Structure 1
Amino acid sequence: MSVLAGFLAPLACALALAATIEAWGGAARAPLGRRPGDLALRLGAYALLTVFWFCFSWRPWLAASSTVTTVAALVLISRAKRAVIGEPLVFSDFALLPQVPRHPQLYYIPPVTSPRVAGPFLIALAGIALWYWLEPSLLPAGPGRSLAAIVALPLALLGLAAAATRGPLAQALARRFPRPDLEADIARVGLPATLMAYALRRRTEAAPAAVPAEPTAPGDPVVVVIQLESFIDPERLGGPRLPAMDLIRSRAAEYGRLRVPAHGAYTMRSEHAVLTGAAPDALGFGVYDPYLANGGDEPASLPRRAAANGYETLFVHPFHRNFFQRARVMERFGFRRLVMGEDFAEAPRTGPYVGDVALGRRILAEVRARRGPLFLFSVTMENHGPWKPGRLPGVDDPLAQYLHHVANTGRMIEELVAGLGGERATLCVFGDHAPSLPTCRPGFGETSTDYALFRFGGPACAPRRIDRTADALGRRLRATLHADMTPPAGTSPAQA
């Protein structure tokens, strides 16, 4: 009872301050929800945070201050993320945290050795140590009772989390959060409650059913699909005319704007959409990171369809195997051979990454060395952000750096079109998302990029502009893998 009494006042302060921070700090674009059930969820999430921090110290005021600091940090990070990407913080972002220290050059953050990071961190540690010394602990007296309390409280939190994934508690959570509605839910119950609820709902949600495709005769002997990092027509950013765009408009069988699931980041969303043809609405709470649940285990994916039809399936990406756990994910997708970072050790770089032209030439070499039908999916790396000073000699402006790299992407496309012209083949290129540049902020083009679908070795047809979603492009590509599924000339984008 004394522990509870000593905990109540700090807890009340934590709840009040955390709610104030969310109300005035802009965690949501809409006014805070005031229904009793919504307020209970909001305050309950703050209380769980306080209990979580209490487990580490058994000092209630330290736990309360840690909760307020946590909520403030979440709100600030969410606001910064929304300004750059157009989306608030989501639970799946925490799964990406291990990538930050491994590949710090891919993020707009200073390294941990920077005084801007190390200084505040060391000051915070010193402050926590001082607080430990000043505030008395509420641990029960006696070694046995202390040990029991130290073990019991974390176990109680784990038990509550486990109970929320099954039975009545899971059903109640499903009624409160039937489907993802990020902005509305953050306004309704707050950012911490939304993060917790979405993570739990993702664990309990059934994966969408997918029926493996029946094997058929292969379609085009060569199908090459290339996901272009941060690719859009540079004229949309006020840049110069790209010769490759003229080539696309004059030679591609189909081309147009591609509406992708995010702006400026989240490559895996577009990648998953194209490789599976699954619409975002069908993914439930997995829409924010489709790899978290199944990790690429998709029975109806393009590589599995291709393999069933006798294709060799090859994934080519000139970067580390462990980034996004790509090697494991792509093997589960159905790619039987991977050509990745170690295979490009001697390849020329443009800036920090393997150049797109070098990647395109490796793709053509793989096409020429094939021993049967080939389905090749590649992800470029040259134009990956951030675009910071020092990336290119004598070019520090972010847009100028981007335009330099996108010109190389255009040259790669031109070389691939010329190299595949003598084959019966399909070449598809598409941008995964718009670049996160100061001149290209959220809302630009409704998250659309550009794509093109070239068909070689068959009857000539006039280029058609067909604007599509990324998942519709994935469904369109299925036709290239099946001899009897090529859509007629009049197929609409919705049917493709």
Structure 2
Amino acid sequence: MSLTTTLVPLAVALIGAFAIEAVAAPRRPSLRPADLAIRFIGYALVTLFWFQFSWRPWLAASSCLLTLAILSVVDRLKRQVIGEPVVFSDLALLAQVPRHPQLYYTLPLSDLRIAGPLLLGLAMVIAWYALEPTALPDGAGAAALAILGLPALLAALVVAGLSKPGQAALRRLFPRPDLTRDVARYGLIATMMGYGLRRLGEADVRPSPESAESAGSGGDNEIVVVVQLESFLDPARIGGPDLPVMGRIRAQAAQYGRLAVPAHGAYTMRSEHAVLTGLDPDGLGFGRYDPYLARKGDEPTSLARLARAAGFETVFVHPFHRDFFDRAQVFRRLGFDRLVMEEDFSGAARIGPYIADVAVAERILAEIAPGGDPAPGRRRFVFSVTMENHGPWNPGRLAGIDEPLAQYFHHVAHTGNAVERLIDGLAGRRAVLCVFGDHAPSLPDCRPPASGPLATDYALFRFGRGESGPPARIDLTAAQLGCVLRDALALKQAGLRG
């Protein structure tokens, strides 16, 4: 096969990929020659990636175009719902999609609407293999050398990107995370590759925890309960009902306010990580997009690690699968002694597809019941993540309620009931309760504003201290809330204020 026969499909792949992105992109792509060169290198590498599996030029070119088409569709949807382009760390979540399709707004592989196109695509690839001649050189030795050499070349490019000269060049192209700008300049593929290599080559970033304003010291608490409420914000802010719990927050909390979170409508792990570590995402470098993927729970400033060192028993309560976000492994490394996961909620009430928030509140209270824990006399730190109000809010989720926003309001009322149950259950004990929303809901009626992710709400209650001053309205970031919780855990007194 001649060189021309190989290069023509590559040229088609490069031009076609650029056309796909130019049509789908919300911003006009950069036409600067240097930017176009980086963009086309990305397209070429994708084409070579697919080429190594088949050695058929037109199949590889078509695979490149299909890859760009799928990425562009996903990117457009993601921007609409979350306000953020596709990023390299999203690829790590692909393994979760077949296991938890409902969380990613897709259908299971067994559904014919998914299985049908996949099987059709597989049949087309098999037919293409039969129809298009291979571009492998003649001779068994030369063919074997080519088959082994191309993957080795691609691997060598990755190694070169991780070398000091390679990282220096990448730092000039991608000095800091700026997805919107970089995708407009270099395209989705080159930006994903560049960000991935920047993350892999990044020195372990260990920023200091944020500072934060707090309404008083926590003192020597017996119990600290922190609950991350799925997709929670005051529903009155988006046209919903006035929840009784919001009135109690404004009347009884030590402090409350808006919480600036790292993402809109998704990426629970970002808010979770910020609160648990007190580390602002801006200080995490390119690991900010999925802190658990980047750091695997190795966090010296984790609230759980510091609390355990201060004599607390540490418990994580989450009514969902252990494998999701690799939480079972990550939370062990974060410093949690015990994990209470979905299997511990067998028989618990479900509202819609997930365990009810009130059931989670009851389990938390059982964990901290006097005399009920496995280490009597130890102070207890409980961190919980709820699930009831997780999307998608689709027709059929709730009997007689099909409109997404109405479903959300139905669930958020139960969230309010769960928080009130915790307030009542902790009253009179020397305890702290913190509740906060991880991100705004990904609803058509709650799109991300141009200014960034919509803030959620948080509240911090202190019990067992007699009369206190009026509640203080203090708006915080998620990382600053994590530092307020250090005081609630009395870590200053223990000399552990990382």
| TM-score interval for Structure 1 and Structure 2 normalised by the shorter chain | over 0.9
| Preserved contact between residue 355 and residue 381 of structure 1 (Cα < 8 Å) | yes
2:5 maps to which residue? 6
SS of the residue corresponding to residue 398 of structure 2 reads coil
1:350 maps to which residue? 351
Select the residue among 177, 186, 189 that pairs with 2:186: 189
2:454 maps to which residue? 447
Aligned pairs for 1:377-396 (under 5 A) are 377-396=383-402
Cα shift at 1:35:
2.7
Query: How far apart, CA to CA, are the structure 1 residues paired with 2:279 and 2:28?
Result: 33
| Preserved contact between residue 486 and residue 492 of structure 2 (Cα < 8 Å) | no
Aligned pairs for 1:293-332 (under 5 A) are 293-332=294-333
Cα shift at 1:3:
5.4
Cα shift at 1:446:
4.2
1:432 maps to which residue? 438
| Preserved contact between residue 306 and residue 491 of structure 2 (Cα < 8 Å) | no
Give the fraction of aligned pairs with identical amino acids, expressed as a percent: 60
Aligned pairs for 1:7-406 (under 5 A) are 7-26=6-25, 29-209=26-206, 219-368=220-369, 369-370=372-373, 371=376, 372-406=378-412
Select the residue among 459, 473, 477 that pairs with 1:465: 473
SS of the residue corresponding to residue 459 of structure 2 reads strand
Structure 1: tracts of 5 or more residues without a match:
487-496
1:489 maps to which residue? none
Q: How many residues align?
A: 479
2:213 maps to which residue? none
Cα shift at 1:139:
0.7
Query: How far apart, CA to CA, are the structure 2 residues paired with 1:218 and 1:145?
Result: 74
CA distances 1:352-392 after superposition (whole Å, capped 9, x unpaired) = 21111111111111111242111110001111111112222
Amino acid at match of 1:5: T
Provide the aligned C-alpha RMSD in A.
Answer: 1.8
Cα shift at 1:218:
7.5
SS of the residue corresponding to residue 264 of structure 1 reads coil
| Preserved contact between residue 219 and residue 487 of structure 2 (Cα < 8 Å) | no
Select the residue among 413, 418, 435 that pairs with 2:424: 418
SS of the residue corresponding to residue 139 of structure 1 reads coil
* CA distance 1:244–1:132, change in 2 (3 Å): same
Amino acid at match of 1:420: L
Query: How far apart, CA to CA, are the structure 2 residues paired with 1:35 and 1:160?
Result: 24
Q: Give the TM-score normalised by the residue count of structure 2.
A: 0.93
| Preserved contact between residue 207 and residue 279 of structure 2 (Cα < 8 Å) | no
Tell me whether 334-343 or 106-115 shows the greater mean CA deviation: 106-115
* CA distance 1:290–1:142, change in 2 (3 Å): same
SS of the residue corresponding to residue 384 of structure 2 reads strand
Structure 2: tracts of 5 or more residues without a match:
210-217
1:492 maps to which residue? none
Query: How far apart, CA to CA, are the structure 2 residues paired with 1:361 and 1:289?
Result: 31
Amino acid at match of 2:289: Y
Moved over 3 A (4+): 2-5, 483-486
Amino acid at match of 1:352: P
Cα shift at 1:75:
1.0
| Preserved contact between residue 315 and residue 337 of structure 1 (Cα < 8 Å) | yes
Query: How far apart, CA to CA, are the structure 2 residues paired with 1:383 and 1:274?
Result: 20
SS of the residue corresponding to residue 377 of structure 1 reads strand
Cα shift at 1:169:
1.5
Query: How far apart, CA to CA, are the structure 2 residues paired with 1:218 and 1:339?
Result: 27
1:490 maps to which residue? none
